[in-house]
Amino acid sequence: MNVQSPLYASLTAYLEDLQESGIDGIPTELRTATAPEVVPPSPPVAVTEQMAPPPVEETAELHETLEQIRKSLGACQRCKLGATRKNLVFGVGTPRARLVFVGEGPGADEDSQGEPFVGDAGKMLNRIIAAMELRREDVYICNVVKCRPPQNRPPESDEVLTCSPFLLRQLRSIKPEVVVALGTSATQALLQTKVAISKMRGKFHDFNGIPLMPTYHPSYLLRTGGNSDSFWSVWDDMTQVLQLLNLPVPNKSRKK
Ligand code: URA
């Protein structure tokens, strides 16, 4: 393996975290375990070459609880965001969620309250979840980075690289049936792509055997308006998500 590669860096960080959480070796059965079964997504999933599997899959089957993952983060200072955050924002919702929403990173409200999507973007996300006839408690919500980037700038690549192993562990622990990536940062981090969100959204992509739907970030919808084309694009994306989950699709029609 190229020792400069992001994969190597993420894997090293992951193994260091395991060590910090008291695991000082990988049991034989984990080393010899076969790769997890990849569930073919349905409906057909567009697979592109940018979708490198996340680094955590380099290690074998290892079930961790969300509590264990939170504990291994501790009072994290692994990247520069640790110095300026008020609260680390781990995630909220059920550990048995069939559907996980992944955003970019905490804003000011989330930083103060320690919970993702509680500010204006959160209200928009709540609106989307309610339109799907789901409740926040039915899903799991988290972010690519767990600490607020100053001035709400997008997280930088070193911050994403440092923090994403924890997101991958969260997803691996929950094993959702569908992941929704909210906006560019989440889509690009999870699918290891630079392709624009406008080109990625609207179809499922493969994330380690889990169908992943990229869609516009709720903050973008706040800027474009609640009855904009982008708002209805998000609704189209969520319709596909509901269908994949075999859940009823509420009948919504655009106000003229
Ligand atoms: N935007 C995000 O991406 N995540 C949050 O938690 C809040 C706003």
pLDDT per residue as tens digits for the range 205-224: 999 999 999 999 999 999 99
Q: With cut-offs at 50, 70 and 90, classify the pLDDT of residue 252.
A: confident
Q: Is the beta carbon of 76 within 6 A of some atom in ligand 1?
A: no
Q: What's the mean pLDDT in 3-12?
A: 48
Residue 26 confidence (pLDDT)? 42
Q: With cut-offs at 50, 70 and 90, classify the pLDDT of residue 106.
A: very high
Fill in the DSSP letter of residue 194: -
pLDDT above 90: percentage of residues in the chain: 72
CA of 112 from ligand 1 middle (Å) equals: 13
Q: Is the beta carbon of 184 within 6 A of some atom in ligand 1?
A: no
CA of 33 from ligand 1 middle (Å) equals: 36
Q: What's the mean pLDDT in 131-141?
A: 98
Residue 61 confidence (pLDDT)? 54
Distance CA 231, CA 218 (A): 9
Domain 85-242 has CATH 3.40.470.10: yes
What percent of the residues of the chain are helix, what percent strand, and what percent coil, each to the nearest 5?
45, 10, 45
| CA neighbor of 210 nearest in space, from 64, 56, 27, 90 | 56
Query: Beta partners for 179?
Result: 100, 212
Distance CA 199, CA 214 (A): 9
Which amino acid appears at position 115 of this protein? E
CA of 115 from ligand 1 middle (Å) equals: 9
Sheet of 99-103: strand order equals 92-93, 140-143, 99-103, 178-182, 210-215, 205-207
| CA neighbor of 57 nearest in space, from 36, 71, 43 | 36
Residue 15 confidence (pLDDT)? 52
The Cβ of residue 44 has, within 10 Å, a number of other Cβ atoms equal to 10
Q: Which two tokens stand for residue 104?
A: 């970019």
Q: With cut-offs at 50, 70 and 90, classify the pLDDT of residue 225.
A: confident
Q: Is the beta carbon of 110 within 6 A of some atom in ligand 1?
A: yes
Distance CA 83, CA 68 (A): 23
Q: With cut-offs at 50, 70 and 90, classify the pLDDT of residue 253.
A: confident
Q: Is the beta carbon of 116 within 6 A of some atom in ligand 1?
A: yes
Distance CA 20, CA 16 (A): 6
Q: Which two tokens stand for residue 214?
A: 């990229």
Residue of 124, 139, 219, 223 to test ligand 1 pocket, by largest number of atoms within 8 Å of CB: 219
Are 54 and 191 in contact, with CB atoms under 8 Å apart? Answer: no
Residue 226 confidence (pLDDT)? 77
Distance CA 157, CA 79 (A): 11
How much is the mean pLDDT over the chain? Answer: 84
Q: Is the beta carbon of 149 within 6 A of some atom in ligand 1?
A: no
Residue of 92, 110, 163 to test ligand 1 pocket, by largest number of atoms within 8 Å of CB: 110
Residue 159 confidence (pLDDT)? 98
Q: With cut-offs at 50, 70 and 90, classify the pLDDT of residue 17.
A: low
Residue 20 confidence (pLDDT)? 52
Q: What's the mean pLDDT in 92-120?
A: 98
CA of 114 from ligand 1 middle (Å) equals: 11
Whether 256 shows a pLDDT value over 90: the answer reads: no
Distance CA 99, CA 83 (A): 32
Lowest mean pLDDT among 51-60, 94-103, 200-209, 237-246: 51-60
Between 89 and 18, the higher pLDDT residue: 89
| CA neighbor of 53 nearest in space, from 38, 65, 72 | 38
| CA neighbor of 93 nearest in space, from 53, 126, 46 | 126
| CA neighbor of 234 nearest in space, from 128, 80, 91, 151 | 128
What are the domain boundaries of the chain?
A: 85-242
Cα–Cα separations (whole angstroms), residue 255 to 115, 227, 252: 33, 7, 9
Q: Residue 100: what are its φ and ψ, rounded to 5°?
A: -120, 130
Q: Is the beta carbon of 107 within 6 A of some atom in ligand 1?
A: yes
Q: Which two tokens stand for residue 14?
A: 């992951």
Residue 39 confidence (pLDDT)? 34
Whether 177 shows a pLDDT value over 60: the answer reads: yes
